Amino acid sequence: MDQDFVKGHGLGNDYIVMVEGRSPKMTEANIRLLCDRNYGIGSDGILLLGKNTSPFGLRIFNPDGSEAEKSGNGLRIFSKFLYEYGYARETSFPIDTAGGRVHSTVILGKEGRVEAVKVEMGSYTFDPAVVGIPGRTGPMVEERLLLEGGTEILGSAVSVGNPHFVFFVDEIDEDFIKEKGRLIENNRIFPKRINTQMVRVTGENEIEIRIWERGAGYTLASGSSSCAAASCAVHLGRVKSPVTVRMPGGTLRIEVGADRALLMEGPVEEVMTGRLSPDIKKRLE
């Protein structure tokens, strides 16, 4: 790789990929600038390659400068990058994230480029200590969450390597999740904040979701959110695995095992490669 960055997207959820040692320092100010769509490259986050031999090391940064444990779309983008830029020699390889080790398998198209990726995402749990709800002895499953202003939402808190609040609706209301997503994310019972999914069941093996991501806001698509929503839907008996998860950005396929193991499969595309100009380098810390 002779560029400063690669940019890719998974169903419209875009990330900048950089290599530690050749990237700017991952300070909050630098991350915010690089992700800014007017003053920087523009993205929903940064994927930083740390350890560049298998198992590969990945750090994930949100556009507000905070660090995330895991990202399904980010893992597909990162997997494509590893294979196409020669870091990964095989089509299957492990990746270490702050949310645990995952295993990726890239799917090649006719021209030898990666068109899709399968990721073994680990397993889901309702354990409140893992989700990040201090002071609880039992899981939060189909309980009422009181929001600032008095709104109550019936939902569940689940971790798939990062934390999620999942609630089911009869009809999708994008204005509602755009308005209430930040209140859920910053609710006092989630001191480390939380991602949110609004879910509508549309078939025996199909759901439709809308997403509010911690540190990013309303998002067109998310792999970990798809895993969380599918996990809750299967666990509560609302659908059967495998689950097709439909989002504004596109569709993912999630397998939810009887042992709570998760397998995600979906498309990925590279958008561009590039170099940072002297002008923006002056503004980076």
Q: How far apart are CA 52 and CA 148, in angstroms?
A: 44
pLDDT tens readout for residues 145-169: 999 999 999 999 999 999 999 999 9
pLDDT tens readout for residues 21-32: 999 999 999 999
Average pLDDT over residues 261-279: 97
Q: How far apart are CA 243 and CA 200, in angstroms?
A: 13
57: pLDDT strictly greater than 90: yes
Average pLDDT over residues 67-84: 96
Q: How far apart are CA 191 and CA 112, in angstroms?
A: 45
What pLDDT does 285 receive? 85
Q: How many CB atoms neighbour CB 3 within 10 A?
A: 16
For residue 139, cis peptide bond before it (omega within 30 degrees of 0): no
* 197 beta partners: 166, 211
What pLDDT does 113 receive? 97
- Residue 76, helix vs strand vs coil: helix
Of the candidates 40, 38, 6, 8, the one whose C-alpha atom is nearest the C-alpha of residue 284 is 40
Q: How far apart are CA 36 and CA 45, in angstroms?
A: 10
What pLDDT does 2 receive? 86
Average pLDDT value over all residues in the chain:
96
pLDDT tens readout for residues 90-102: 999 999 999 999 9
Q: How far apart are CA 8 and CA 272, in angstroms?
A: 7
User: What tokens were used for 262?
Assistant: 């998760």
Q: How far apart are CA 206 and CA 244, in angstroms?
A: 5
Q: How confident is the model at residue 279 (pLDDT cuts 50, 70, 90)?
A: very high
| Torsions phi, psi for 113 (to 5 deg) | -90, 155
One DSSP character per residue, 254-284 reads EEE-TTSEEEEEEE-EEEEEE---HHHHHH-
1: pLDDT strictly greater than 80: no
Average pLDDT over residues 92-121: 96
Q: How confident is the model at residue 135 (pLDDT cuts 50, 70, 90)?
A: very high
Percent of the chain with pLDDT over 90: 99
Burial 249-277, CB ≥16 within 10 A → b, else e = bbebbbbbeeeeebbbbbbbbbeeeeebe
* 117 beta partners: 106, 266
Average pLDDT over residues 139-150: 96
Q: What is the DSSP letter of 46?
A: E
275: pLDDT strictly greater than 80: yes
Of the candidates 188, 197, 201, the one whose C-alpha atom is nearest the C-alpha of residue 158 is 197
180: pLDDT strictly greater than 90: yes
All domains of the chain, ordered by start, with CATH? 5-122+268-283 (3.10.310.10), 128-259 (3.10.310.10)
Q: How many CB atoms neighbour CB 217 within 10 A?
A: 16
Polymer length in residues for the chain: 285
Residues 166 and 232: beta-carbon distance below 8 Å: yes
User: What tokens were used for 165?
Assistant: 């609040």
Q: What's the pTM value of the predicted model, to 2 decimals?
A: 0.90
